[in-house]
Amino acid sequence: MSCRLTVVGLGPGRLDWCTPEVSAILEDATDLVGYAPYLARVPQTCAARRHASDNRVEAERAEHALNLAADGGDVVVVSSGDPGVFAMASAVLERLDQDPSRWCDVQISVCPGITAAQALASRVGAPLGHDFCVISLSDVLKPWSIIERRLDAAASADFVIALYNPRSRQRPHQFTDAIGIVSRHREPATPVIVGRHVGRDEESVTITDLGRLDHATIDMSTIVIIGSSTTRVLDRPAGCRVYTPRTYADPRPAAG
Ligand code: SAH
């Protein structure tokens, strides 16, 4: 009897961006639990039973996984990216917290993965090289007023901001509102990096700026990184060219 529940991150897409630790845990599992498209990314060499569920049923999925583990399974809950970033690790703990006397025998652990913000940052250089924050624009689980307050605070404190769940079809205007809030504190020339399906076959990465950002290109498969006042774009043909310096000295040679 294992009675184990491990919450793992598969990384943003490519299998070689999934850690060897997670790959080994998947191979040894008796049951895999997760959102169907994430389960589909687990190689078929993993013989475990697969329990696919819809995206919006996190609490039920967590409870199902805890019950499978309590029955003696070696259960793995899969998340995309990192399981602790807007994903299943907190959903499992939140469910446990509601029922403190249940599932006492289940041993729970979390294995990290590369989160979408890191993956996109690496594609263009080092935009997260100095203080940054991550904000989900989804108001499914939190009120929009809190999102507005956090955007305003983060932008006024000059953090680089990575926006997760940026623009859904049900609430496209909220992305426009969010950019409006950030723009109160940032110049139109502030660098913005847009990554869609980062690390997957359909990947696209664009470097633009706050004033020219094309909102129509943003959807739920996209992550958006908005630079701080010090984030710079180097004038190079391609590849790594965006960074946020770790120092506050001007890196450009003095004029004259
Ligand atoms: N746990 C995940 C985040 C889940 S929230 C992680 O750590 O990456 C879902 C949001 O993550 C998406 O709406 C999108 O904004 C972002 N995201 C996840 N994978 C992505 C990818 N490969 N490319 C671009 N954005 C991604």
Calculate mean pLDDT across residues 161-185. 95
How many whole angstroms separate alpha carbon 233 and alpha carbon 189?
10
**How does residue 119 score in pLDDT terms, banded at 50, 70 and 90?**
very high
How many whole angstroms separate alpha carbon 59 and alpha carbon 169?
24
Domain's final residue, options 89, 114, 139 = 114
Instruction: Identify whether 249 is part of a domain.
Output: no
Instruction: Identify whether 166 is part of a domain.
Output: yes
Q: What residues line ligand 1, using a CB cutoff of 6 Å?
A: 12-13, 79-82, 85-87, 115-116, 164-166, 195-200, 220-223
Q: What is the DSSP letter of 60?
A: H
Ligand 1 center–CA 80 separation, angstroms: 7
Instruction: Identify whether 174 is part of a domain.
Output: yes
- Tokens standing for 146? 């809190």
Same structural domain, 76 and 159: no
Same structural domain, 124 and 226: yes
- Ligand 1 atom closest to 114 (CA): 7
pLDDT at 148 over 80: yes
Closest Cα to atom 13, ligand 1: which residue?
A: 165
CATH number at residue 54: 3.40.1010.10
Contact (CB, 8 A) for 161 and 225? yes
Contact (CB, 8 A) for 195 and 116? yes
**How does residue 57 score in pLDDT terms, banded at 50, 70 and 90?**
confident
The sign of the torsion formed by the CA atoms of 224, 152, 165, 129 equals positive
Same structural domain, 82 and 136: no
Mapping DSSP onto H, E and C, the string for 149-218 reads: HHHHHHHHCCCEEEEECCCCCCCHHHHHHHHHHHHCCCCCCCEEEEEECCCCCCCEEEEEECCCCCHHHC
Same structural domain, 97 and 140: no
pLDDT at 254 over 70: no
Ligand 1 center–CA 40 separation, angstroms: 16
pLDDT at 203 over 90: yes
pLDDT at 233 over 60: yes
The per-residue pLDDT for 126 is 97
The reported pTM is: 0.95
Residues above pLDDT 90, as percent of the chain: 84
Q: What are phi and psi of 130, to 5 degrees?
A: -130, -170
- Ligand 1 atom closest to 220 (CA): 13
pLDDT at 250 over 70: no
The per-residue pLDDT for 238 is 73
The per-residue pLDDT for 253 is 63
Same structural domain, 175 and 94: no
Minimum mean pLDDT range among 17-26, 119-128, 167-176, 210-219: 167-176
Same structural domain, 151 and 212: yes
Instruction: Identify whether 256 is part of a domain.
Output: no
Same structural domain, 93 and 146: no
Residues above pLDDT 70, as percent of the chain: 97
How many whole angstroms separate alpha carbon 88 and alpha carbon 108?
12
What is the distance of C-alpha 225 from the center of its chain?
Answer: 12
Instruction: Identify whether 47 is part of a domain.
Output: yes
The H or E element spanning position 76 is: strand 74-79
Same structural domain, 104 and 137: no
Ligand 1 center–CA 113 separation, angstroms: 12
The per-residue pLDDT for 46 is 86
Same structural domain, 190 and 84: no
**How does residue 251 score in pLDDT terms, banded at 50, 70 and 90?**
low
Q: What are phi and psi of 66, to 5 degrees?
A: -65, -40
Residue 80 domain boundaries: 4-114
Mean pLDDT over all residues of the chain? 94
